[in-house]
Amino acid sequence: MNNLTVKDNWHHQLSLALADHKIECFFSTEDGFLLLMIDHQLIIHLVSLKNSFIPKDLIELQERHHQKGIKVIHLWEDLWLSKPDQVLARIKSLLGRNSRIHGRKTKIGKITKPVANSFLIENHLQGAVTSRYKIGLFEKDQLVAVATFSALRKMNHTENYKSAELIRFAVKAGYSITGGLSKLISFFAATYQPNDLMTYADRDWSRGEAYTKLGFLQTAVLEPQNYVLDENLDRQLKKDNRAFANEVFNTGSLKFILQF
C-alpha cells in the first residue's frame, strides 16, 4: 500500500496510543477543526492531508485558545504516520509526564556526527540536519540530550561580531532535564565565544517558551512554508507554484536571539 493512502482512522490510532500511556482525551469540533482535548491544558488540532485550511486559520485557532491559557498544537497526519513515537514523546513532555533528570548530575562533551544524527532521528520531530558542532549531555554513560550548532558567522553590523545558530535540541524520549539546555548553551558559549546565539521555534508546536525563560528575545516571525510529501512522507520544501497531489504547510517559525 502507498504510504500516502489516506487513513481515515489515524486520529483514533492516536487516541488509542495516548490511552496506552494513560493519557485521557476526548474529541471535539470547532469551526471545522477536529480537536483532541487533553486535561483542559492542551488541545491537539488533528490536520488531515485532505483539508481546505490556510495557515491563517490555524494561527487564529491557536491565538483564540492562547487567550484562554490553553495551548494548541497542530499535528499533521503525515507527521503522525511517519513519526508516531516522537509525537507521543513530545505530547508527554508537554503534559509534564516525563521522568526528571537534574542537569547538574549530567556530564557534557562533544559527540560525533553519527552519534548526534542517530539520537536526533530517534528523538526529534524534524530529525537531523547539517551542523558544525555537536554536544551531548550524559547521565553516567547514557546520552540523554543533544544540541547541535552552526559555525560562527561574522556579522557586518559590528566589528569582530560573531553569531551562531542553535539548530537542534532534543532530549531522550521519556525524560526532561532541568537546566539541560542552559548547560549546553553555556558550554558552547564558553568554548566558541559567539556574541549571540539565534534559534527558531516551530509555531505548529511551540511559542518558544523554553527560549524566553533562558533570556532569548523574539526578534522576528517567519512566514508559513509549503512542503511536498515524498513517498516516505518526508517533507521537501516547495520551490515553485506547481500543484502537487500531496502538499502540507506549517504556521511559520519564531526567531529568537540570545545576547552574550
Give me the CATH number covering residue 233. Answer: 3.40.630.30
Q: How much is the pLDDT for 243?
A: 77
Provide the percentage of residues in the chain whose pLDDT is more than 90: 86
Question: Last residue of a domain, which of 94, 119, 137?
Answer: 94
The 10s digit of each residue's pLDDT in 169-202 is: 999 999 999 999 999 999 999 999 999 999 999 9
- CA torsion sign for 231, 237, 242, 247 is positive
Residues 70 and 197 in one domain: no
- What mean pLDDT, rounded, does the chain reach? 93
Residue finishing a domain among 94, 117, 145: 94
Average pLDDT over residues 52-69: 96
Q: What percent of the chain has pLDDT over 70?
A: 97
Q: Provide CB contacts within 8 A for 199, sequence distance 6+.
A: 165, 166, 167, 211, 216, 255, 256, 258
Residue 245: which pLDDT band, with cuts at 50, 70 and 90?
Answer: confident
Q: Note whether 109 and 79 are same-domain residues.
A: no
Domain that holds residue 67: 10-94
Q: Are 154 and 136 in contact (CB under 8 A)?
A: no
Confidence category of residue 8, pLDDT binned at 50, 70, 90: low
Please identify, among 64, 94, 124, the residue that sits at the C-terminal boundary of a domain.
Answer: 94
Q: What's phi and psi for 227, nearest 5 deg? A: -130, 155
Q: Are residues 181 and 247 in the same domain?
A: yes
Which ranges of the chain does DSSP label H, i.e. alpha helix?
A: 10-20, 55-66, 77-82, 84-94, 113-123, 180-192, 209-213
Same domain flag for 150 and 248: yes
Same-domain check for residues 134 and 242 = yes
116 vs 118: CA distance, rounded Å: 6
Count of domains in the chain?
Answer: 2
Q: What is d(CA 44, CA 54) in angstroms, rounded to the nearest whole number?
A: 17
pTM of the model: 0.91
Q: How does pLDDT run across 93-122, given as a tens digit for each residue?
A: 999 999 999 999 999 999 999 999 999 999
Q: What's the burial of 241, exposed, middle or buried (CB within 10 Å: 0-12/13-18/19+)?
A: exposed
